[in-house]
Chain A
Amino acid sequence: MSMRRFWLGVATALIAGPALAQQPAQAPVPGWAVGRPEGSALAPHAPRLTVTPLAEVPVAAIRLPQGFQAEVFAHGIPGARTMAEGPNGTIFVGTRVIGRVYAVTRNPDGTTRVRTIAQGLTQPNGLVMIGNSLYVLAVNRVLRYDNIEANLDTVPAPVDLTAAFGLPTEQEHGGNHHWKFATLGPDGRIYTNVGVKCNICEFDRDRFALLVSFNPDGSGRRIEARGVRNSVGMAHHPVTRELWATNHGRDWAGNDTPNDTLIRVRRSGEDHGFPFCVGDWRDPQYNAGRNCSEFAQPAALLGPHTAALGMRFYTGTMFPEQYRNQIFLARRGSWNRERLSGYDVLVAHLDAQGNVTRLEEFMTGLRDDANQKFLDRPVDVHVMRDGSLLVSGEQMGAIYRITYRR
């Protein structure tokens, strides 16, 4: 991507801002720090982008319900986040800062092999597999790697679909919430997020804070949901085909407000309330006199600043019947909170009408409350064909596999 274009975007944004035009010597604080109270030392946790030796992968700390076990499926994958599986069983893994896409395959002896199949990309976090083609969404760039599983050692140049998708660029996002999550809908369309271009601000509600879908060639953009601040996890219900998504609440509005949410899109295009409301919680600065009942209500509240990310419906048969078609979702864990929250995997249990009846803390042990430390940061979940569940750990560059034995 062109840094010149990026810089022009920054310059344009600054020149366009009336307050800044009057005060040319004043720079904006970094996006994440807008609204930070005086004296607060909270800041995003630094990533780890180097290989973590197997002995330091904290699998032994993981706690699960009775009958479940965790093992290390693969490691040595710095920055491992999103997962997508190819028809031959390759697990593709997306990242953010390190700019790589990995392919994890199984050796005949059951161990795994990790290859880097793309690097130097800007935050290639959106992965979706359609047939034999891997789509990589790296901010606004959309790249299609055809017949990828047959070419893991010598990856051919991808087909560039960037112009067809026309997603907002990093500079149009002001460097905020520009990374993508992507999933394939039951209608054959690619579903993804366009996050808001700030922590919270006034913005074009037809361009940002959206869930959108496209035909795989980038045509036919459709707004699936408005007022969704930033979703980095979504999936379609295997029976009702409804779109569900996780959504991040804003920063700097208190330790316990607002909640991250689980949303259910009953109607394409419906409004979920950002920046005005989160459920019945009125934003203290940006409510603009709106009545929160006019917006779609969250299916569940997922805790303040927990960073709920990847989610999948459990469609396997290995786990007990009570988990069938229930939602597993990863909470990467908080930074914008004095005491850590999240760093776990939840199950949202649904009744026959699709109402969330219970949130179960399914995978815990990675958050050390006594010492206010974390051991790893779960980002995505993936249901394997044998019914086991993969959980990616970004901080340690590992993928955990959870199995069940009666």
Chain B
Amino acid sequence: MRLRSLVAAAVLAAALPGTAMGGDPARGAALAAERCAACHGADGRSAMPDIPSLAGQQPGFTTLQMILMREGIRRVPAMQPFVEGMPDQDIEDLAAWFASLPPGPPQDRRPRDAALLAAGEALIGPRNCAVCHLPSLAGREQMPRIAGQREEFLARTMAGYRDGRRIGADPQMNGAVAGLSDAEIAALAHYLAQQD
């Protein structure tokens, strides 16, 4: 695990122009075991409905979102006690730890629904998902990995962006999902959740 973390950190450092993110995954592991694992899973793959998996998540995304929550800009009541007053170093260490974990689907992922999968896949291009999340849907920097995420979490998140209950660091996602029907969101969520 330590070697993999080091490799992950090296790859990250090379990818970021001039930004040395100082996350220590080993320290993050200890923090995560204490504060995060109960909901987000010991291996970063959430087994709880509506709670996102964080394994393999982009550290820039995890860091940004935790800071937005801590600052009161993104409001998630369940997370508030955990992020309240959390030092930057803890946030960076947690982000580095989750980034070092291999991403993968939750154990309770439901079987593929061919029709839903096809309907979701057909929306990826028109909705320009790959412009930010990359064709692999693994994300980059402050834009999240969405491949293999929990299906109901993806659906709730997209509906939140669509309905104005959620806003990111900028309103790009609100525009990207504007006008989607509940059925289209369900199809997109299924397609994304089925990607590995």
Contacts and interface: CB of A to CB of B under 8 A. Distances in A.
Interface residues of A, number: 50
Interface string B115-147: 000000001001110011000000001100000
B196 interface: no
A204 B170 CA distance: 23
A269 interface: no
Q: Is the interface of A mostly helix, strand, loop or mixed?
A: loop
Contacts of B178: 7, 10-11, 14, 27
Interface string B25-59: 00000000000000000000000000000000000
Contact of A78 (B68, B72, B88, B123): B88
A25 B19 contact: no
Interface in A155-180: 170-171, 174-175
A6 B164 contact: yes
Interface in B61-80: 63-64, 67-68, 71-73
B109 interface: no
Contact of A14 (B63, B164, B179): B179
Given A7-B164, A27-B175, A46 B126 contact: no
A24 interface: yes
B60 interface: yes
A99 B19 contact: no
B131 A373 contact: no
Interface residues of B, number: 43
B175 A28 contact: yes
A395 B179 CA distance: 35
Contact of A48 (B19, B169, B177): B19
Interface stretch (A50-58, A214-222, A255-263, A277-285): A50-58
A340 B18 CA distance: 12
A3 B164 contact: yes
Given A25-B126, A29-B131, A51 B88 contact: yes
Nearest to B91: A50
Contacts of B164: 3-4, 6-8, 10
Interface string A339-373: 01000000000000000000000000000100011
Interface of A: 3-4, 6-8, 10-11, 14, 24-33, 36, 43, 45-53, 56, 78, 97-100, 119-120, 122, 170-171, 174-175, 340, 368, 372-376, 395
29 contacts: A3-B166, A3-B167, A4-B164, A7-B162, A7-B178, A10-B171, A10-B174, A10-B175, A11-B178, A11-B179, A14-B175, A28-B128, A29-B131, A30-B132, A30-B172, A33-B131, A33-B132, A43-B132, A45-B19, A46-B19, A46-B60, A50-B22, A50-B63, A50-B67, A50-B92, A120-B71, A171-B171, A375-B18, A376-B18
